[in-house]
Structure formats: C-alpha cells, structure tokens
Amino acid sequence: MTVSTEVTGKVAAEAAGKYTVGAVMCPYRLVLEHVTSRWGVLVLIELLDRPYRFSELRRAIGTVSEKMLTQTLQTLERDGLVHRDAKPVIPPRVDYSLTDLGREAAEQVRGLALWTEARMGEVEKAREMYDAAKGRG
C-alpha cells in the first residue's frame, strides 16, 4: 500500500503542529515545561503555603543552586505565575508569592505530587518487575 507524500506530510505536520508552531515550540508546551520542570514544581508547591524570601525558599527546596532558583523564579514570574515584591528598604527585601494563576497551577502540580507519593510503592514494584524481565539489577 502506498501513501502519497501529501497525505503523509499532512499527518506528520498535524502531529508535529500539536506541539510546535513551525520550528518553534508551541506556547502552551513551553508553559507546561516551566510548570513541570524539576525546580518549577518544587517552587510552586512551596509557595502554596506562604510567600517566601529568596533565601528561605532556597532552604525549603534544598539542593537548588542560587542560579537555578533565580532562573526558575524569573521564568515563572514572566509566565504570570509568581509575583516578585521588592520592598524599598535597607537591606533590600524581596518576597515571592503565587499569583491567582500560579495558585491554580500549583494546586494541579501538588495533586500530581500527592498522587506520586501515594502510588510510589506501585511504581517501585513495576520497576522491579520490569528490571527482572529485562535481566537487570
């Protein structure tokens, strides 16, 4: 059976078009990456509790570098998920909190994190079965 390149190309373009716009990543995919990134998830979940100063947030998260936390906060701020409140005092004080949009995203991410925690035993069992079937470990 031969499929014309026009039909094949159209199907490929439609499949790729779901996640890309031309050669550029689709805007909602970028936001999804920001929200679900390694540090984005942790920042959003921590900020659900209360606003944090930078150093407090870094301690709460743990192993994140200053550079990565700064980049993550800037990205989430740009996306409208995090609010940066710089107070004109000496020494300077900057607090980070969630916007309404950020709170909504953080609650979704926290739901996934809670599901992961609740199902970790099943995931570990599945990994063990997979590794045993593949002759690993």
Span 57-91, pLDDT tens digits: 999 999 999 999 999 999 999 999 999 999 999 98
Residue range 6-62, pLDDT digits in tens? 444 444 445 556 666 666 668 888 999 999 999 999 999 999 999 999 999 999 999
- Cα(79)–Cα(84) distance, rounded to whole angstroms? 12
Cβ-based neighbours of 84, under 8 Å, separated by 6 or more: 73, 77, 94, 95, 96
CA distances from 93 to 49, 56, 77, 84, 137 (A): 19, 12, 17, 10, 50
Task: Kindly report the pTM of this predicted structure.
Answer: 0.77
Q: How far apart are CA 36 and CA 110, in angstroms?
A: 11
Return phi, psi of residue 89, to 5°: -125, 170
pLDDT band at 113 (very low <50, low <70, confident <90, very high): very high
Asked if residues 34 and 101 have their Cβ atoms less than 8 Å apart, the reply is no
